[in-house]
């Protein structure tokens, strides 16, 4: 058939895809491989299987402290950006008002701004107003950064929400609060959960804002950055990195599955 000529027949295209994917994922695959390698140097050939680098993490109190910080920051950022995102997404999907497009653009803009510039500007302002650098400032900075991601997940969830569902509920005798509990919340819940997971994951991996704004309490990425100066610490950093990658993949996959399932459900309806 004429439609199958051209691109589909090229033998170079599959090769290009393989090279591309290898470039993208091979380095990340090396991380877990070396984290199980029984040698301090990250070179081939491999020296044998070990779990000692993972075990060493559990006794590393500084690392555990950083992990606790990351967890705390992640939960706060996820809650804040999702909370703010819900309000914004509801307003943008439900109401028509002057400046709606502009508001949407401005809220989504941090997605495209150079993160380091945002970080430096935030640092300047925070120092200007005399705020002390702490986890709180990291939370503020990361919330600004995560909001567009939360919003894009939430608006796609809310856009499918049909207002007549709420009317149908009222019509069937339910109160406004009952309608929120029995219809609105269950229908948009997947988008909210998905937004929480996405924001948490981004916060967990985020380095630049955390580096600039964290003061004396490092988050995990900042801690890792500090450890890279010591060659001997590298294998345990690799172990930690592997855990973070696994966690991120699990969280993002879960978020995407929930989001897609909800989208299907709403669109089918």
Partner 1 sequence: MADMISIRSVSRYYGIYKALDDVSLDIGAGEFFSLLGPSGCGKTTLLRSIAGFDTPTSGDIRIDGQSVIGTPPNRRPTNMVFQNYAIFPHLNVEENVAYGLKRLKLDTAEERRRVGAALEQVRLGALGKRGANELSGGQRQRVALARALVMRPKVLLLDEPLSALDKKLREEMQVELRSLQKAVGITFILVTHDQYEALGLSDRIAVMFGGRIAQVATPKDIYQHPLTREVADFLGGMNFMKARVTGETAGELSVETHRFGNVRVSKPLGFAARDGHATLGIRPERLRVLWDDAEADHSLEGQVVDRHYFGEITHLIVDVPGMEKPLSVSETNNFGADDIPVGAPIRLAYDPDALVALRD
Binding interface with partner 1 (CB under 8 A): 162, 164-165, 167-175, 178, 182-183, 186-187, 264-269
Q: How far is the CB of 172 from partner 1 (least distance, A)?
A: 3
Of 165, 199, 216, residue with least CA distance to 80: 199
Cα–Cα dist 225/218, whole Å? 10
Cα–Cα dist 216/212, whole Å? 11
CB nearer partner 1, residue 169 or residue 201:
169
Q: How far is the CB of 120 from partner 1 (least distance, A)?
A: 45
Cα–Cα dist 133/152, whole Å? 29
- In this structure, what are the phi and psi dihedrals at residue 240, rounded to the nearest 5 degrees? -60, -45
Of 118, 76, 78, residue with least CA distance to 207: 118
Q: How far is the CB of 205 from partner 1 (least distance, A)?
A: 32
Q: How far is the CB of 81 from partner 1 (least distance, A)?
A: 25
Q: How far is the CB of 89 from partner 1 (least distance, A)?
A: 18
CB nearer partner 1, residue 68 or residue 163:
163
CB nearer partner 1, residue 12 or residue 97:
97
Q: How far is the CB of 156 from partner 1 (least distance, A)?
A: 15
Of 96, 114, 185, 197, residue with least CA distance to 153: 197
CB nearer partner 1, residue 18 or residue 168:
168
CB nearer partner 1, residue 39 or residue 170:
170
Cα–Cα dist 63/195, whole Å? 27
> What DSSP designation does 113 have?
S
CB nearer partner 1, residue 155 or residue 169:
169
Find the radius of gyration of the CA atoms of the chain. 23
Residues 6+ apart with CB under 8 A from 74: 200, 201, 203, 204
């Amino acid at each position: 058939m004429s439609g199958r000529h051209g691109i589909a027949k090229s033998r170079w295209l599959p090769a290009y895809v393989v090279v591309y994917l290898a470039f993208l994922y091979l380095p990340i695959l090396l991380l877990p491989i070396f984290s199980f390698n029984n040698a301090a140097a990250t070179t081939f050939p491999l020296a044998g299987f070990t779990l000692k680098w993972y075990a060493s993490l559990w006794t590393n109190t500084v690392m555990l402290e950083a992990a606790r910080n990351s967890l705390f920051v992640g939960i706060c950022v996820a809650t804040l950006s999702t909370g703010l995102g819900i309000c914004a997404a509801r307003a943008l999907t439900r109401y028509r008002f002057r400046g709606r497009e502009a508001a949407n653009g401005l809220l989504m803009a941090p997605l495209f701004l150079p993160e380091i510039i945002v970080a430096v500007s935030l640092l300047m302002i925070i120092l200007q107003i005399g705020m002390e650098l702490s986890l709180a400032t990291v939370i503020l900075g990361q919330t600004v950064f995560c909001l567009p991601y939360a919003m894009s997940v939430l608006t796609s969830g809310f856009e499918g929400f049909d207002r007549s569902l709420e009317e149908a509920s009222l019509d069937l005798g339910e109160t406004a609060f009952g309608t929120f509990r029995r219809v609105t919340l269950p229908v948009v819940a997947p988008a909210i959960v998905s937004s929480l997971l996405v924001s948490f994951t981004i916060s967990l991996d985020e380095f630049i804002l955390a580096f600039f704004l964290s003061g004396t309490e490092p988050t995990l990425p900042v801690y890792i950055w500090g450890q890279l100066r010591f060659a001997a610490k590298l294998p345990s950093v690799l172990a930690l990195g592997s855990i973070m990658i696994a966690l991120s993949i699990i969280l993002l996959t879960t978020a995407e599955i929930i989001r897609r399932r909800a989208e299907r459900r709403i669109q089918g309806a």
